[in-house]
Structure 1
Amino acid sequence: MNKSELNQLIDLRKTLHQNPELSGEEKETAKRVVEFFKDLKPDEVIENLGGNGLAFIYNGQEEGLTSMYRCELDGLPIWEENNIRHKSKVEGKSHVCGHDGHMAIISGLGMKLSKERPKKGKVVLLFQPAEETGEGALAIVEDKKFHKHNPDIAFALHNLPGYEKNQIVIKKGAFAAASVGLKIRLKGRNSHSAHPEAGNSPAEAMSKCIVALEKLPDAMKKFTLVTVIHARLGEMAFGTTPGEALICATLRAYENETRDLLVAYSEKLCTQIAKEYGLEIAFEYTESFTATHNDPEAWEYGNEAAKKLKLKVKHIRIPFRWSEDFGLFSKHTKTLLFGLGSGKKQPQLHEPNFDFPDELIETGVNMFWEIAKDIHG
């Protein structure tokens, strides 16, 4: 990749960084990507895929595998706190996860493919919407337009603060956790705050549920984590004894089955507490992420690419606790999600002063290009 091409990708990255859009709202982001690909001669362009998603198809002349390389379109509802010229122009929204950089990398792969088509098979470059909410991958998989391009093997990367810049972080098997957001609603009965005995406040039950949920992983055989992220009791009305409560928690495990078991135990535990206090209880789930599982064959392609490029590689033993929407593709095809170190002193993902380091773009493009050459000749 020459300096002019790299500068084009950096300019694209900075433009995307300045104009973030939240999950499900990525229309302008998609337009910018389509405009960038006009000169890159894909054989097919699919728009409005699973919402605002995009796919660019490059066909080989011979029969072969279909490989997919995926990045994310969406930003976050986080105020950016950076003193940089390309700071987000949108109040309360930012790309402090690095999806702008991931899009630049896949666009760079498009640059390579426009000059050198795959000899055999087919390459799909996927720009996925709504990764942050865990809704985008499912919408893609369920979209009929995607079915004729179902991949035999799929790849993605995520930049990882805390690791050396351009270091490849890789693992066979479980790589990122399964998770789900749980909402618990407790319903008792309001009364005047001067006569609390006339009502049925869920305050004590709510407190017990919070403590019990966060202690629940201690009783599990495999790794699990429950993080209570929000709680609300009644309303700000000093003359009223509260009659309702809401508890929100994120439940995590390295395997889908273990997460589902944690969900079942959480429901049982909180139901028992609610019954003890004579309260009604209801459960609701949101932002469900499947565990990301790295297939041995896909892992081999990634590991070999890193070796060819003489990159530093860190083979981790323990999966990451965070979740990635790419995990849903693991249920449908062979997948590899690997990490690309973004600096030991780099702010962590989702912190307001995070900014994707442009030095990673060329490494990311080269990793995917080596994998694609290996698969497609």
Structure 2
Amino acid sequence: MPVINSIAAMEDEMRGWRHWLHRNPELGFDLPKTAAFVAERLREFGVDELHEGIARTGMVAIIEGRGEGPTIGLRADMDALPIDEATGAGHASETPGKMHACGHDGHMTMLLGAAKYLAETRNFAGRVALIFQPAEETAGGGRVMVEEGIMERFGITQVFGIHNAPAYAPGTIHTGPGPLLAAVDEFTIRVEGKGGHGAMPHETRDPVAALLGIGSAIQTIVSRNHRATDDLIVSITQIHAGAANNVIPADGVLSGTVRTFDPEVRGMVERRMGEIAAGCAAAYGVEATLRYDRGYPATVNDADRAAFAAEVARAVAGSENVDDDTLRVMGGEDFSYMLEARPGAYVFLGIGEAAPLHHPEYDFNDAVAPVGASFFARLVETAQPAT
């Protein structure tokens, strides 16, 4: 059961969809042209229901199978990134400052390809819910769709998604049980002291010295406060203080990101940051305030669904092209909210040699779209065989 012939025959049509989407990138929840394009294709395919305006510009399309059965969810994200494209491709972005640098144009294309095939064949029981989601890159559109009740409203019992992966050979599929992508948090520590002349530091309470001390101490969270075999990243990415070489400023700020997989480790990092900030503030005679913002949770695959996804992947791509125990990735993904709401699995689809994700020279590989579309379609047909 390799790539489905009728989907392979759609490759040129799918390329056309993808190139249109790539030329017309939109950001966040503000996706009027993207949503209209997707909705028009779904209506052409003859889906049974199309529910628009979920999470502003998201939508869920329903395709009925043959006979009674559950509803399986398939998800694609829709938004682009605020990046100036540098691919030089004939289908490059026509909107300065916006581009599909993460392959969401490819994700939509693969789900549309599966939708067209499933609407034509209906060789499954129950229903399939095609979830087109806005705002993955910024505001957690996946969370908003879950909060707006898509799982309950459409009776979704399990949910699956795909993300392209430039690091892997084209057409290969990679997944695994348990955490696959990290929880993504941000922190900001603001220090308030007393400024003064750089030649008279004894008359000040120097926030710069305190920021350096706090920054150094925070690094010990990774090296001294957690088990070495647990994945954890604490990265300070910004430090801001002062505007002149001969002036000690009155305040300053440092900020950064935390990546974890274990909720207990996540909690420990937040607690230790607060303790370090307070302790260093007392030592340096300043005031320190921690703001710790929890972002996307870890993307955690259900073990049984991950094994099932790998089984389907082997049927589509060949056993030699499937890794069912792939390495975890420290990036984040708001599909995590859907996996918290329903069991399911997320997989990576290799696209071969390409610029990395979020790079101005990145471009999706159209040749792998039939693989992803076939994988989506076979998930439905295998999970819910027609009676």
Scaled by the length of structure 1, the TM-score of the pair is: 0.93
Structure 2 Cα separation of the partners of residues 99 and 271 of structure 1: 42
Equivalence map 1:72-151=2 (5 Å): 72-117=77-122, 119-133=124-138, 135-144=140-149, 147-151=152-156
Following TM superposition, by how much is the alpha carbon of 1:153 offset from its aligned partner in structure 2, in angstroms?
0.7
1:243 is aligned to 2:245: no
Question: Residue 309 of structure 1 aligns to which amino acid in structure 2?
Answer: V
Tell me the amino acid that sits aligned with residue 267 of structure 1: G
- 3-state SS, counterpart of residue 309 of structure 1: helix
Query: Is there any run of 5+ residues in structure 1 with no aligned partner, and where?
Result: none
Residue aligned with 1:368, SS: helix
Q: Deviations over 1:62-90 (max 9, x none)?
A: 33221111111111122221111111122
Q: Distance in 2 between matches of 1:78 and 1:286?
A: 25
Which residue is 2:368 aligned to?
A: 360
Deviation at 1:224, TM superposition (A): 0.8
Of residues 158-167 and 279-288 in structure 1, the stretch that sits farther from structure 2 once superposed is 279-288
Q: CA deviation at 1:288?
A: 0.5
- Amino acid of the residue matched to residue 274 of structure 2? E
| Structure 1 residue aligned with 2:165 | 160
Q: Percent identity?
A: 28
One-letter amino acid of the counterpart of residue 295, structure 2:
S
Q: Structure 1 CA distance, aligned partners of 2:203 and 2:111?
A: 62
Summarize the alignment of residues 1-377 of structure 1 with structure 2, pairs less than 5 Å apart: 1=6, 5-117=10-122, 119-133=124-138, 135-144=140-149, 147-193=152-198, 195-219=200-224, 220-221=226-227, 222-234=230-242, 236-237=243-244, 240-286=247-293, 288-311=295-318, 312-316=321-325, 318-343=327-352, 345-377=353-385
Deviation at 1:2, TM superposition (A): 5.5
Contact 1:133 1:287 in 2 (8 A): no
Structure 2: tracts of 5 or more residues without a match: 1-5
Mapped to 1, the partners of 2:251 and 2:278 lie a distance apart of 15
SS in structure 1 at match of 2:137: coil
Matched-pair contact (CA < 8 Å) for 2:310–2:324: no
SS in 1 for 2:347: strand
1:363 CA drift (Å) = 0.2
Distance (Å, rounded) in 2 between the aligned partners of 1:251 and 1:176: 13
CA distance in structure 2 between the partners assigned to 1:289 and 1:214 by the alignment: 22
Q: 1:51 to 1:189 in 2, by over 3 A?
A: farther
* CA distance in structure 1 between the aligned counterparts of 2:377 and 2:8, rounded to whole angstroms: 17
- Corresponding letter in the other structure for 1:319: R
**Alpha carbon RMSD of aligned pairs, Å?**
2.0
| Alpha-carbon distance in structure 1 between the residues aligned to 2:76 and 2:109 | 9
Contact 2:162–2:349, Cα closer than 8 Å, also in 1: yes
CA offset at residue 266 of structure 1? 1.8
How far residue 305 of structure 1 moved from its aligned partner, in angstroms, is 1.2
Alpha-carbon distance change, 137 to 287 in structure 1, aligned in 2, over 3 angstroms: farther
Partners of 1:199 and 1:156 in 2: how far apart?
55
Asked if the contact 2:18–2:106 (Cα under 8 Å) also holds between the matched residues in 1, the reply is yes
- Residue 238 of structure 1 and its aligned partner are, at CA, apart by 5.6
SS of 1:13's equivalent? Answer: helix
